[in-house]
Structure 1
């Protein structure tokens, strides 16, 4: 990779880090629940307002990208993210924070759809794969650093919301760097997938099963992100500042799992690795029901993070390989599956309110594990096949 390519990739790597900002909604929801005295249902609406937009805007973003270009779409996503991060300092109330969540979700949807194609305009082949892998690693760093920064700001500076200007400065820097970077993009006149092109593919059993799989794996991801601190608060009486580290533990082990998974999946059957991952998740969720001390709680959360680290990529890759001539349409559908992050936290909030216990939220998460278990006999050893 020559020096010119490396310089072009730097602002794009910043953008991958910013992609991880979407996960700050977990720790932010826990703080806002306390600040605004929210019920579980009202708190669950916050992350739902972030991930809802993956359902609404994934395919339209592809159409937009075809009209204004990949780089401009990424720049637009970063500007929307900056606007979102400014809201807590313009007005900090429940209504405005719902708007914050909406803008954060819209910006992240645009970013997730457009960033990978933009990088493919700069690098190709094996270098593309390694660049995307490194980008996902940077995204994971942002995911587990957000709770740490929020807790540090709350304890040292008495304001957890200082997390937002820190991330906003990084976003502004990314806009400047990408704005001055010249990228040669393919002809914009290439046909873009339509809604009908994408939804027709759900008639294929493999695509449908993988789409539901991504709904579940993202739902589990966001659900644990939001619920982990609440378990420590409910069962151990911890403060939100102390309990906030639970989210970082989850993302730390998800990062470790992703790193190791890149090597394991290259050498072993994806089916075997899938079975191991799902078994870890099922055992860990079972532990969450009975855990009454911090060691077991942290262990269960860490195991879920490790087990869930590679399920998204397994489902995504199987869907892509199943329809190699329709990868644009398949990609649009799979990104729409990220809207699972909107569905599960909302259901968990209603369940926790109904039973007045976070165990109810864990029960909702168990439905994701059950789906993963049902999928085991559907998987063959070949990475591109489902029975």
Structure 2
């Protein structure tokens, strides 16, 4: 293989991260589904039902992440990425064909499968086109930045679709076209992959790592940080609709503020973490996030609510990569297995919203959802002080 990095090969792989960000559309979709399709249901069940959207999506990470790793060993990384794109395109057209609650669940289950396959395969594919440790780290960070752009722009695209085409659901064919472009671009790019050496990852080798107490605590950390992230994404629009009386379209800017500040936090964190202790950085950020979540329970003024979304997004931005890095640092000889395990932990995005819906319906307001998110953040604060990983 060539020893230099080819920009023409890096760009189509980085563009795939934009497709990876489609999973973050669950926030505005959950709010729209609640408003459009669940009006006939009793009010005490609407949040529980609408929160099944992120539940079915992120449950797929539990079911498909390790099997995807096995499939990737057989067919290669590029073909695995293309498979995920094909499934994404199918999922994007289902809500247009039949916009019902059941078909929305089917669409987001398929999107969850596709996103799981993509997250497992796209990062390794990037290592085949980027040479040099520093450039690879920079490229991985750039990929996460591209992914965050999707999350930030989704409510704006939905608003554009609603105003220009008369229906917010046209966001889905727009995403399908973007995915098709990504697929064609990648197919037209020649990428040489290294042959697989050693034993393939198995279910047993991955889950055996949970016997290590530190790895177990870090796995729970991944589960809860993803849960907090998806939780704020899912409930932010509903909070604005409930407390300020905003429409579902306007309330969609709540997730945008959250993702905009999370993107900024990731960008600045890449520089700050090169100079500061990651454990101390983690502790201070999660403490601030906890205080912001407590304030969110009581906030009733629009600009304060938006500000708190921003603070939470900024402070939670780097928790996932810090925890992921701690896990790799703990058992560097098991890096591949640990990576698979941590991606499996993304199914926390299914668990937390499920209990958020139950709590919100039980209390009769989004305070219940915020309390569940706060519980996840409190665990992350505990983990920040309890986990010690020797350098």
TM-score, normalised by the number of residues in structure 1: 0.96
Check conservation: 1:66, 1:190, Cα contact below 8 A: no
Could you tell which deviates more after superposition, 13-22 or 34-43?
34-43
Check conservation: 1:215, 1:338, Cα contact below 8 A: yes
Question: Are 1:305 and 2:313 an aligned pair?
Answer: yes
Cα distance in structure 1, aligned partners of 2:204 and 2:121: 20
In the TM superposition, residue 157 of structure 1 has moved relative to its aligned partner by: 3.0
Q: Could you say which residue in structure 2 is the equivalent of 1:327?
A: 335
Question: Are 1:182 and 2:193 an aligned pair?
Answer: no
In the TM superposition, residue 217 of structure 1 has moved relative to its aligned partner by: 0.5
Check conservation: 2:155, 2:249, Cα contact below 8 A: no
Cα distance in structure 2, aligned partners of 1:309 and 1:376: 15
Cα distance in structure 2, aligned partners of 1:4 and 1:198: 32
Check conservation: 2:5, 2:129, Cα contact below 8 A: no
Could you tell which deviates more after superposition, 258-267 or 187-196?
187-196
In the TM superposition, residue 385 of structure 1 has moved relative to its aligned partner by: 3.2
Q: Could you say which residue in structure 1 is the equivalent of 2:287?
A: 279
Q: Could you say which residue in structure 2 is the equivalent of 1:122?
A: 129
In the TM superposition, residue 3 of structure 1 has moved relative to its aligned partner by: 8.9
In the TM superposition, residue 158 of structure 1 has moved relative to its aligned partner by: 2.2
Question: Are 1:81 and 2:88 an aligned pair?
Answer: yes
1:167 to 171, 175, 178: 175
Cα distance in structure 2, aligned partners of 1:25 and 1:372: 23
1:385 to 373, 387, 390: 390
Classify the secondary structure of the residue corresponding to 1:275.
helix
Q: What pairs up with 1:14-163 in 2 under 5 angstroms?
A: 14-37=15-38, 39-124=46-131, 125-163=133-171
Question: Are 1:376 and 2:377 an aligned pair?
Answer: no
Cα distance in structure 1, aligned partners of 2:38 and 2:197: 51
Could you tell which deviates more after superposition, 345-354 or 119-128?
119-128
Unaligned runs of 5+ in 1: none
Q: Could you say which residue in structure 2 is the equivalent of 1:241?
A: 249
Q: Could you say which residue in structure 1 is the equivalent of 2:42?
A: none
Once superposed, what is the RMSD of the aligned Cα atoms? 1.5
Question: Judging changes above 3 Å, is the alpha-carbon distance between structure 1 residues 206 and 248 closer, same or farther for their aligned structure 2 residues?
Answer: same
In the TM superposition, residue 162 of structure 1 has moved relative to its aligned partner by: 1.2
In the TM superposition, residue 188 of structure 1 has moved relative to its aligned partner by: 3.7
Unaligned runs of 5+ in 2: 40-45
Check conservation: 1:80, 1:104, Cα contact below 8 A: yes
In the TM superposition, residue 189 of structure 1 has moved relative to its aligned partner by: 5.5
Cα distance in structure 2, aligned partners of 1:376 and 1:344: 20
Cα distance in structure 1, aligned partners of 2:198 and 2:168: 45
Q: What pairs up with 1:193-272 in 2 under 5 angstroms?
A: 193-272=201-280
In the TM superposition, residue 190 of structure 1 has moved relative to its aligned partner by: 4.1
Q: Which runs of 4+ in 1 moved over 4 A?
A: 1-4
Check conservation: 1:271, 1:379, Cα contact below 8 A: no
Classify the secondary structure of the residue corresponding to 1:105.
helix
In the TM superposition, residue 296 of structure 1 has moved relative to its aligned partner by: 1.1
Cα distance in structure 2, aligned partners of 1:75 and 1:157: 29
In the TM superposition, residue 214 of structure 1 has moved relative to its aligned partner by: 0.6
Cα distance in structure 1, aligned partners of 2:4 and 2:163: 42
Cα deviation 1:75-113 (Å, max 9, x = unaligned): 101111111111112211111111101110000000000
Check conservation: 1:287, 1:296, Cα contact below 8 A: no
Classify the secondary structure of the residue corresponding to 2:306.
helix
Cα deviation 1:131-160 (Å, max 9, x = unaligned): 111111100001110011112222343210
Cα deviation 1:287-309 (Å, max 9, x = unaligned): 11111101110111111101110
Cα distance in structure 2, aligned partners of 1:353 and 1:379: 35
Q: What pairs up with 1:330-369 in 2 under 5 angstroms?
A: 330-369=338-377
In the comparison of the two structures, how many residue pairs are matched? 383
